[in-house]
Amino acid sequence: MSDLARLTLDRIERSQRNFKLALAGAVMLETALIGALLWLTDFSDRVQALVFVATVGGYTLIALGLIMLATHVDRTLLRALQANR
């Protein structure tokens, strides 16, 4: 394997490791925020309950979109690596 290919693969692995650390941090932060929302929301007030449902729904859509994007990028990267071999 050439030095350039090895260097590129090392950078990809480092990038994936950083992504996983950032994702774990984001999951912990979002869990804390949703926990705070659950604790502070007065579910007997329909407006607060509606805002809670809308907030969680929005976060869910964004999270699913990011997961789909990450899957697409990984698949594209694997195809590019296979084409280089």
Residues 9-52 pLDDT 10s = 888 888 888 888 988 998 899 899 889 989 999 999 999 999 99
Distances (CA, A) of 48 to 28, 36, 53, 57, 64: 24, 13, 9, 14, 24
Nearest CA-CA partner of 26 in 48, 49, 59, 2: 59
Query: pTM for this structure?
Result: 0.62
Residue 43 DSSP symbol: T
Residue 64: domain span: 3-84
Count structural domains, the chain: 1
CB burial string 65-78: b at 16+ within 10 A, e below? eeeeeeeeeeeeee
CA atoms within 13 A on the CB side of 22: 6
